[in-house]
Structures are given as structure tokens and as C-alpha cells.
């Protein structure tokens, strides 16, 4: 492979960097790709001198005949022949990123709007219908043989069934509450439910359209906030 000169190495480094860069960034890329081996004590200063000499606008009296570089208003070096194309590509790239950000933001808003509509619909359901929804919700997440319990027969347990965990099968119970956002699940709610499932169940799930009031609840009961 033919050895590159300092200037040729700088040109190659700027091609690899793809954006206007400082002399130090050009030097780092040269060393990273082993494009040139410097012998001077201050290689960055040597590189800067050579790049300045080959700039289209330079104050050096010993300027080079062939111009390869130019500087933007921030003092960053770029290739004369390649810079217009790079600017165009950067604009396209930034435009693509802007469009991608817009798509993500629209998707986020659509998701949130859909969730709000679903929750609004859940509030219109009768208690039995909401419990049936929670049963199907749990089944979609891997719970098995889920059934809605008969009202008044099992205290605060609305849905029961099983969950496979490794080689074990847990008997699980769920309580379903359509709480408003301002009416959060409290510690007494959890304590009452824990009492209802003691002895017969290995896991309890409190399903709510709200959230938990306390960060730490005594959890042999999981609080599941819908959506």
C-alpha cells in the first residue's frame, strides 16, 4: 500500500468523519486508521500547518498551490470538493431524523389517546363485564383456567386461576377495581385483599384502572395498573 502524505491522510480522515471537523478530530481519525505516522513532538501543530497551507483562504505566505480544504464560520475544516454534497446529505439526514421524531411523537399521542378511550369505555361496563374483561386480560398474559367467581362467595376475590412458574403451578386470585385516577389503591385495600387470599392462594393480583397510593406495599399482592 502506498504511504500517504500528511495532506492526503487529512483528506482521507475528513472523508471518514463526514462532517466539518477540528484539526484535533482529524488527527484522532488519522491515528485511529493509521493513515500516517507522525515523527514530530507536536503532531497536531504540524497537521494544522499543512491543512492551513492547503486551505482556499489562508494567511500563510507559503500557501500550497493545490487547495483541498476550507473552513466554515466555526473554524472547522471541510473538503472543498465534497462539502456541498456533505451539506446536502446532512440536511437530508436531519430532515429524516425530524420526520422520525414526528412519527414517534404522533404514535405516542395516538397510543395515549387509545388508552384513554379504552379506560373511558371500561368505566361504562357493569361490574360483571369488567371482571370478565380482567379475566381475558390475565389469560392473554399467560394465566390459565381463569374464572370469574360468583359474587358474594369469595369475599374480595373476583377472578381466580393458575399460573405456571417453572415447574410449579401457583394458585392465583385477582381483585378488580375500576377506581378513578384520583382514587388510588391504598394500604388498607391491599391488607384486606391479602386477608381474603390467605391459605388458599399463593399469589394475589390487584387489578385497577388507577394506581397505588404508596410506593411500597407489602407485596405478596401485585398491583397491576391497566395500561
pLDDT recorded at residue 72: 86
pLDDT recorded at residue 162: 92
170: Cβ–Cβ under 8 A, 6 or more apart, which residues?
162, 163, 164, 202, 203
Per-residue pLDDT reduced to its tens digit, 107-154? 777 888 887 888 788 888 888 888 898 899 888 888 898 899 876 555
- 175-210 b/e (C-beta count within 10 Å ≥ 16 → b): bbbbbeeeebbeeebbeebbebbeeebebbbbbbbb
pLDDT recorded at residue 84: 45
**Which one has a higher pLDDT value, 81 or 84?**
81
What pTM was computed for the model? 0.47
With bands split at pLDDT 50, 70 and 90, how would you rate the model's confidence at 97?
Answer: low
Torsion angle of the four alpha carbons 112, 114, 119, 125, in this order, in degrees rounded to the nearest 10? 180
pLDDT recorded at residue 31: 92
Per-residue pLDDT reduced to its tens digit, 64-77? 778 888 888 888 88
Domain 127-225 architecture: 3-Layer(aba) Sandwich (3.40)
pLDDT recorded at residue 83: 44
pLDDT recorded at residue 88: 44
With bands split at pLDDT 50, 70 and 90, how would you rate the model's confidence at 28?
Answer: very high
With bands split at pLDDT 50, 70 and 90, how would you rate the model's confidence at 198?
Answer: confident
The structural domains of the chain, with segments of one domain joined by +, span 6-81, 127-225
Answer yes or no: are the C-beta atoms of 33 and 13 closer than 8 Å: yes
d(CA 7, CA 201): 76
Q: Is the pLDDT of residue 215 over 70?
A: no
**Which one has a higher pLDDT value, 227 or 165?**
165
pLDDT recorded at residue 222: 61
Q: Where are the alpha helices (DSSP H) in the chain?
A: 6-17, 23-33, 43-53, 83-122, 127-140, 187-197
With bands split at pLDDT 50, 70 and 90, how would you rate the model's confidence at 94?
Answer: very low
pLDDT recorded at residue 127: 84
Residue 63: which H helix or E strand, with range? none
d(CA 48, CA 27): 9
d(CA 176, CA 131): 6
d(CA 197, CA 186): 17
pLDDT recorded at residue 100: 67
**Percentage of residues of the chain with pLDDT beyond 90:** 8
Amino acid at each position: 500500500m502506498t504511504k500517504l502524505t500528511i495532506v492526503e491522510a487529512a483528506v482521507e480522515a475528513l472523508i471518514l468523519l463526514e462532517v466539518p471537523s477540528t484539526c484535533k478530530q482529524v488527527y484522532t481519525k488519522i491515528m485511529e486508521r493509521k493513515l500516517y505516522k507522525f515523527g514530530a513532538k507536536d503532531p497536531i501543530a504540524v497537521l494544522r500547518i499543512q491543512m492551513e497551507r492547503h486551505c482556499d483562504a489562508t494567511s500563510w505566505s507559503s500557501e500550497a498551490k493545490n487547495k483541498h480544504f476550507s473552513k466554515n464560520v466555526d473554524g472547522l475544516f471541510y473538503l472543498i470538493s465534497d462539502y456541498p454534497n456533505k451539506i446536502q446529505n446532512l440536511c437530508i439526514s436531519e430532515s429524516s431524523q425530524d420526520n422520525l421524531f414526528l412519527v414517534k411523537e404522533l404514535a405516542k399521542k395516538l397510543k395515549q389517546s387509545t388508552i384513554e378511550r379504552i379506560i373511558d369505555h371500561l368505566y361504562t361496563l357493569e361490574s360483571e363485564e369488567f371482571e370478565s374483561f380482567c379475566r381475558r386480560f390475565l389469560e392473554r398474559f399467560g394465566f390459565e383456567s381463569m374464572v370469574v367467581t360468583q359474587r358474594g362467595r369469595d369475599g374480595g376475590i373476583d377472578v381466580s386461576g393458575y399460573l405456571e412458574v417453572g415447574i410449579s403451578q401457583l394458585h392465583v386470585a385477582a381483585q378488580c377495581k375500576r377506581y378513578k385516577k384520583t382514587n388510588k389503591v391504598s394500604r388498607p385495600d391491599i391488607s384486606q385483599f391479602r386477608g381474603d387470599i390467605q391459605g388458599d392462594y399463593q399469589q394475589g393480583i390487584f387489578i385497577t384502572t388507577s394506581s397505588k397510593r404508596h410506593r411500597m406495599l407489602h407485596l405478596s399482592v401485585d398491583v397491576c395498573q391497566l395500561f
